[in-house]
Amino acid sequence: MNIRKNVNLAKYSNYKIGGSASYFLEPKTVSELKQAIRFARGSKLPIFILGGGTNLLISDDGFKGIVIRPVLDFFKIVKRNFVEVGAGASVKNFLKFTVQKEMSGMEWAGGLPGSVGGAIRGNAGCFGGETKDSVVSVKSVRVKDGKIIERNNKQCAFGYRDSIFKQRDGEEIIASAIFKLKPGIAKDIKKSIEDKINYRWSRHPMEHPSIGSTFKNIPLASLTKKQQALYREVVKNDPFPVVPVAYIISKADVMGKKSGGAMVSPKHPNFIVNMGRAKAKDVEVLIGLVKKSVWDKFKIRIEEEIIRI
Ligand SMILES: Cc1cc2nc3c(=O)[nH]c(=O)nc-3n(C[C@H](O)[C@H](O)[C@H](O)COP(=O)(O)OP(=O)(O)OC[C@H]3O[C@@H](n4cnc5c(N)ncnc54)[C@H](O)[C@@H]3O)c2cc1C
Rounded Cα distance between 209 and 279, Å, is 12
Cβ contact 155:164 at 8 Å: yes
Rounded Cα distance between 131 and 110, Å, is 12
Rounded Cα distance between 167 and 156, Å, is 10
Q: What is the CATH number of domain 3-68?
A: 3.30.43.10
SS3 113: coil
Q: Under CATH, to which class is 205-308 assigned?
A: alpha beta
Q: Which atom of ligand 1 is nearest to the CA of 210?
A: 53
Say whether 104 is catalytic. no
Name the residue at shortest CA distance from atom 21 of ligand 1: 119
pLDDT along the chain (309 residues), means of 10: 95 97 96 95 94 97 97 95 98 98 97 97 92 97 95 96 95 97 98 97 94 94 93 86 94 96 96 96 98 96 95
Kindly state the DSSP code that residue 90 receives in the 8-state scheme: B
Q: What's this model's pTM, rounded to 2 decimal places?
A: 0.94
User: How far is residue 127 from each of residues 14, 165, 239, measured CA to CA in Å?
Assistant: 22, 23, 11
Rounded Cα distance between 276 and 286, Å, is 16
| pLDDT at res. 160 | 85
Rounded Cα distance between 183 and 71, Å, is 28
Query: Please, which residues bridge with residue 7 across strands?
Result: 21
Terminal C-alpha separation, the chain: 24
Pick the CATH number of 75-201 from 3.40.50.720, 3.30.465.10, 3.20.20.140, 3.30.450.20: 3.30.465.10
List, by residue range, all CATH 3.30.43.10 domains of the chain: 3-68
Mutate to test the pocket of ligand 1, among 26, 33, 54, 133 (most ligand atoms within 8 A of CB): 54
Distance 89 CA to ligand 1 centre (A): 12
Say whether 43 is catalytic. no
SS3 192: helix
Distance 225 CA to ligand 1 centre (A): 34
| pLDDT at res. 250 | 96
| pLDDT at res. 279 | 97
Distance of CA 208 to the CA centre of its chain: 17
State the CB neighbour count (10 A cutoff) for residue 237: 9
Say whether 163 is catalytic. no
Catalytic residue among 210, 213, 259, 293: 213
Distance 155 CA to ligand 1 centre (A): 21
Q: Which atom of ligand 1 is nearest to the CA of 14?
A: 53
Which residues contact ligand 1 via a Cβ below 6 A?
A: 14, 49-56, 70, 87, 112-115, 117-119, 121-122, 124-126, 165, 169, 173-174, 204, 210-212, 307
List, by residue range, all CATH 3.90.78.10 domains of the chain: 205-308
| pLDDT at res. 42 | 92
List, by residue range, all CATH 3.30.465.10 domains of the chain: 75-201
SS3 18: coil
| pLDDT at res. 239 | 73
User: How far is residue 95 from each of residues 7, 46, 100, 179, 215, measured CA to CA in Å?
Assistant: 30, 33, 9, 12, 27
